[in-house]
Structure 1
């Protein structure tokens, strides 16, 4: 059994796929390489792939090393100008994960492709699909960074609540200038035995759907924000939301990022 290989078609297909993978890697790592530079890297990768296929090499493991070592290293260096540091390792990993994702999307969509000439259109669709997957994973990663646990202390009461760090929360006390975080009304009732504590006061605020209003604010004894490390805040100001701060109850407190 033998296969007939059209080297020009093989080169073009590899160039297209290498270009897509380099573009995805470039977008994910925010590299400064130009499109022309990416084309150069894709051409180098496709040319080396053709060379490795055409040159008779007796041992399969040598071809394996050349494909996954030499070809990809040259492609990354030529296409993205990445230095020999941690960034290169990241780029190498992103390139391979992107290749797996593109291959998966490509195989899934190929069952609907009846015409061989639609290959390049399918490759473009796979490119945008994989970019969307990377962006979604990046969003989930950022979301985890903003989620944390807050431990609230008031008199002799201690309460742990799920919290989110919201960069859109810029609420501050007009008198002291201290940042104000916001909690569910139920949190304050738990800390104060269903009643509002002494020393409560009101500050003006505005939000989406409500141009102006006033919010009751209390001062806690202290608060601990638990992320990778603990951040302690003495006598933090806490605004009391009417009802829940999250409609689905996923968290009960919105932290002002200025307290961190």
Structure 2
């Protein structure tokens, strides 16, 4: 069986799909949209794909070159990634858009789908990408609020999970330092072992209107951020009951001013 290939139609359809995929991916990743770069990336990518299609006799090699050379080149030309991590993130989202939109195009052409049905499938793919983007955004936001922590005491270290809470603005009036809230069971044994002195600090809206909270000062704390660990010297911790913690995965509620240190 032989097929007729209209190069101009093939080029135009792929150029439009590539442009749409780059635009949608840019929106999902909150990238600055520059029409000139999108058109440049799409033109170079479509031209390279067409050239490879006519030059390579092995279709498998054609697919490999398109997926691992042409598509990454389009992404770089469009977004000008500043780091490997940023590039991989941009490539993965754009690649998903390429697969969905390209799949819809091939399916419609192979099955002779009516224009109205084809448009519905295309809109469905775009909607799916938008939902996936929202999910990834929420996942990233949740990841950015939870951290691995290393509490430093005189006789050892304690590894715990921490939750960054912008609503925790408690300050120790004695030393004028932000107060982090920790589960009593996590630190109590170490407090007794090292005889770390306890003191009382006033608080408001911590499960009740006002009161006094037991607090201690440790030697230090590392917040394990992805870029680099953040070290806080002489952090203050308020000792609280577990019922205060809504998330069982976390043992510490970090103060809102933690990242300002």
**Length-normalised TM-score, structure 2:** 0.66
Verify the 8 A CA contact 1:181 1:253 in the aligned structure 2: yes
| In the alignment, structure 1 residue 3 sits paired with structure 2 residue 14 | no
Verify the 8 A CA contact 1:158 1:191 in the aligned structure 2: no
User: Unaligned regions of 5+ residues in structure 2, if any?
Assistant: none
Counterpart among 73, 80, 83 of residue 82 in structure 1: 80
Structure 1 residues 53-99: Cα deviation after superposition (integer angstroms, max 9, x where no partner): 5xx43633785587457754774466x26379758954773366325
User: Unaligned regions of 5+ residues in structure 1, if any?
Assistant: none
Q: Take 1:74 and 1:221, find their aligned partners in 2: how far apart are those partners?
A: 50
Q: Take 1:8 and 1:121, find their aligned partners in 2: how far apart are those partners?
A: 25
Structure 1 residues 196-230: Cα deviation after superposition (integer angstroms, max 9, x where no partner): x86522323347x97x4335041234243252666
Verify the 8 A CA contact 2:173 2:201 in the aligned structure 1: no
Higher mean alpha-carbon deviation, 140-149 vs 176-185, is at 140-149
Cα drift, residue 39 of structure 1: 4.7
Q: Take 2:70 and 2:168, find their aligned partners in 1: how far apart are those partners?
A: 49
| In the alignment, structure 1 residue 214 sits paired with structure 2 residue 211 | yes
Structure 1 residues 134-171: Cα deviation after superposition (integer angstroms, max 9, x where no partner): 45345445544532133364x87975432223344332
Aligned with 1:170: secondary structure? coil
Paired residues for 1:7-26 under 5 Å = 7=7, 10-26=10-26
| In the alignment, structure 1 residue 243 sits paired with structure 2 residue 242 | yes
Equivalence for 1:119: 118
Structure 1 residues 90-143: Cα deviation after superposition (integer angstroms, max 9, x where no partner): 477336632566369969x99xx9954332332333234234434534544554
Aligned with 2:129: secondary structure? helix
Q: CA RMSD in A?
A: 4.6
Q: Take 2:118 and 2:41, find their aligned partners in 1: how far apart are those partners?
A: 21
Paired residues for 1:1-260 under 5 Å = 1-5=1-5, 7=7, 10-27=10-27, 30-35=30-35, 37-39=37-39, 41-42=41-42, 45-46=45-46, 49=49, 53=53, 56-57=54-55, 59-60=57-58, 63=62, 67-68=66-67, 71-72=70-71, 75-76=74-75, 80=78, 82=80, 89-90=87-88, 93-94=91-92, 97-99=95-97, 102=100, 116-117=114-115, 118-137=117-136, 139-141=138-140, 143-145=142-144, 146-151=146-151, 153=153, 159-187=158-186, 189-192=188-191, 199-206=198-205, 212-225=209-222, 227=224, 233-256=232-255, 257-258=258-259, 260=261
Equivalenced residue count is 249
Relative to 1, partners in 2 of residues 1:206 and 1:33: Cα closer, same or farther, differing over 3 Å? Answer: same
Q: Take 2:155 and 2:70, find their aligned partners in 1: how far apart are those partners?
A: 65
Q: Take 2:87 and 2:233, find their aligned partners in 1: how far apart are those partners?
A: 42
Q: Take 1:58 and 1:152, find their aligned partners in 2: how far apart are those partners?
A: 61
Relative to 1, partners in 2 of residues 1:157 and 1:27: Cα closer, same or farther, differing over 3 Å? Answer: same
